[in-house]
Amino acid sequence: MCGIVGYIGTKKACPILINGLLRLEYRGYDSAGISTIEDGYVSLMKNKGRVMNLYDLEGIDDLNGSIGIAHTRWATHGKPCKENSHPHMDNSNTFSVVHNGIIENYNELRDFLTKEGYSFRSQTDTEVIPNLIHYYINQDTQKDTMAFLRAVQKTCNAMQGSFAIEVISSLYPDNMIVVRKDSPLVIGKGKREFYICSDIPAILSFTRDFYLLNDYEYVLLSRDEAKFYDKELAPITKELKNIEWDASSADKDGFEDYMLKEIFEQPKSIRETIGAKLKSNEAIAFEDLSLSKDYLTSLHKIYIIACGTAMHAGLGTKALFEKFCHIPTEVDIASEFRYRDPLIDDKTLCIYISQSGETADTIAAVKLAKSKGAKTLAVSNVIGSSITREADYCIYTHAGPEIAVASTKAYTAQLVLLSLLALYMAEVLQENSNSEIENIKQELLLLPTKIEEILKNTKPVQDFAKKIYKESDMFFLGRGVDYAVALEGSLKLKEISYIHSEAYAAGELKHGPIALIENGVTVISMITNPDLAAKTISNIQEVITRGAKTMVVTNQELENKGFDFIYTIPKTHPMLSPVLSVVPLQLLSYYISKEKGLDVDKPRNLAKSVTVE
């Protein structure tokens, strides 16, 4: 969702802030703005629409201040417009604030401030924040920087909801205060300068050294130091962490779009996710994970909990946990899991998947499971993200920054990491070699090369996309793990092409969905398990007889029985086939979107990190 950038140092802040906002565009937004301190006053520049629209504002080229904050907004309270965009200032134009999150009790706070004589220029929840800071600092007899900090603290204590906040003031022209609760915020350290952002890739080109904030940690920044405080404003010490991501990986490297680049990065991201965890003729090893046989034997259930694409990764690997660990495994949507009072106890392992590590519903589900005594394990792509700090254990995909809103390389890296986890647990439980497990392990090592084979043969998919891109409805079919891939393929098509699509377990076709099949409708099917191939082919024949166009993604040697397009992928173990069969579907969605002339990387109404419920 919304993006935050901040800078305090010795350079001009404006170009740094705008550069950071441009790198956050993938998060989704409807307006943008910056605020800097200029010769004793706080400047404010904001506009509806794209970040580049800021350059249309009169006077922006004259900003010379070396302290500033910036924001890309995704409307929650109030329509997208200049007045509702961030930053927001108090009535005296003394304090300027940007904010990610939602203030749930803003109506009550607004009523309180109105009675105290404050007025409001926008419809947003955020505007209460600078006015509350102004109110509380006027109640403080001291006016030093600690008074500034106390005013921000009292404001945060008054708010209910989630927030990541940056505050600057003309009263304190050499300082900035930042704080977070349930919304991501990190601080990058340079030489006599600090960079603040909601997402690490936005400032990777400036620094690799970061402070990762926990909830209710306050930071008082000057050019020379960052002072950290806890919720009670007691000083604390924070560890500086080095992030190994390559800043160039956030650039397009010659590809037309980030999404296409990230599709082609999948062999690399899978190799790096496997890393040293899997070596030939050795047991799988996770450096920071040690689950004992006694603990795993005690488990009655595994929950895999996630949202969207990450949830599909759970569905695609559920069978591995059940087959080889012999533990009942349930995959659930995080937002639903929280509200149905799930049966969890100390005999439950809850696995949470979040690419960003900041998905609000998933983080809340972690807290719920911990409160009931279950062990929690986070799967994330971002070191030090909120979910990894909440969970008892964490393991990482190594996909690098994923900029396109529609996830591709993070998804396949999640599939591979969860497969490794399932096999690791199976080896701990069984203690003896299992020939099928050894076979899957060898096949895992071959997946990157097999994806490279697929990516050498993209033209047939592009050609098929040109034939179907004008359609308004499509259907995806599969059985077993192929159904999980059908769900992901359907989601990708919806996300970036805006074509209505549905995914069904192929055996369910006759139980209602076949009524939707009519002449000319496209049906896309996955066939990767030889034991289920004949049954799925029978289902495809049923839609062909009703006039459907068909695309089949398969690793089987199929006789063409009237299919319009067969795309053959390399063979692998059936339980690993989702890693390969999804790639043609990613490409199909991409090429359809390009044929329609759409913005592939920034689809409408969507955001990369969903940090509010």
Report the run of H or E that residue 138 belongs to, with start and end.
Answer: helix 128-139
Amino acid at 138: N
Tokens of 360: 């609000």
Tokens of 311: 């949830």
DSSP helix/strand/coil, 154: helix
Is residue 260 within 8 Å of residue 586, measured between CB atoms? no
- What's the full length of the chain, in residues? 613
CA–CA separation, 361 and 358 (whole Å): 9
Other Cβ atoms within 10 Å of 121 Cβ, number:
11
Find the angle CA(552)-CA(554)-CA(559) to the nearest 5 degrees.
75
φ/ψ region of 326 (left if φ > 0, alpha if ψ in -120 to 50, else beta) reads left
What share of residues in the chain are helix, strand, coil (percent, to 5)?
40, 25, 40
Task: Enumerate the active-site residues.
Answer: 2, 608
Amino acid at 9: G
Does the bond joining 513 to the residue before it have cis omega, within 30 degrees of 0? no
CA–CA separation, 105 and 110 (whole Å): 9
Q: What are phi and psi of 355, to 5 degrees?
A: -55, -50
Within 13 A of 197's CA, how many CA atoms are on the CB side? 27
Is residue 207 within 8 Å of residue 188, measured between CB atoms? yes
Please, what is the angle between helix 266-274 and helix 435-455, to 10°? Answer: 150
Is residue 46 within 8 Å of residue 33, measured between CB atoms? yes
